[in-house]
Amino acid sequence: MLPDPIQKFIKIFSALPGIGLRQATRLAFHLINSGKTNIDETTRAVSDLGRLKICSQCFFVHQNPASNGNLCDICANAGRRKDIIAIVERETDLISLERTKKFKGVYLIFGEISKAGVIESIQKLRLNHLKSLIKQSGKKAEEIILALNPTTYGDLNASIIAKELAPFADKISRLGRGIPTGGEIEFADDQTLGDALERRN
């Protein structure tokens, strides 16, 4: 019943987080009814995502020139503490922590935590990458903050990561429990998240 372009749009967009078949269908018709100019702008915005690069140190996105050594703005910033590292699950968690303006270190994006209670192969590679960076610096990290969501799976993964990285840091801490158990960093307000950073232990 629906034309092929709409069906393809629905198939692709319904697979995105938080968007099901009904929402994808509404989006398709919203764009159609908004006119060709809006559709073209949306197309360009999606296409531009393909031009972004992944930071070679923390795995956050950036659009910096190659002269930056393929680093994001945070990792390329000489004013950031390279010996204080926050491990976050998602890019949106990094953005939330940055909004507090209370963290002056760098990050490692760990990746989506599995509910199976195991560290995935890509996550192991990222942890090994962090170990290599610390070794190259010639000294242990002063602190590694496990800024993972305070859920059952977050706590389980945090304990596994803490054991893995214990020889590479003088201190390993967790965010303070200003964030309620079962809550998510991405949705915490700036004040709560800032307090959790300051009360880490």
What's the longest Cα–Cα distance across the chain?
64
Contact 82, 60 (CB under 8 A): no
pLDDT on residue 17: 86
Q: What is the CATH number of domain 4-49?
A: 1.10.8
Which pLDDT tens digit goes with each residue over 121-132?
999 999 999 999
pLDDT band at 149 (very low <50, low <70, confident <90, very high): confident
pTM: 0.79
pLDDT band at 118 (very low <50, low <70, confident <90, very high): confident
What residue ranges do the domains of the chain occupy? Answer: 4-49, 54-198
CATH 3.40.1360.10 is held by the domain 54-198: yes
Which pLDDT tens digit goes with each residue over 60-103?
999 876 666 789 999 999 999 999 999 999 999 999 999 989 89
Three-state DSSP at 105 gives coil
Kindly report the backbone phi and psi dihedral angles of residue 53, in degrees, each rounded to the nearest multiple of 5, phi listed first: -115, 165
Tell me the CB-side half-sphere exposure of residue 85, using CA atoms within 13 A. 26
CA distances from 183 to 10, 21, 58, 158 (A): 30, 27, 24, 15
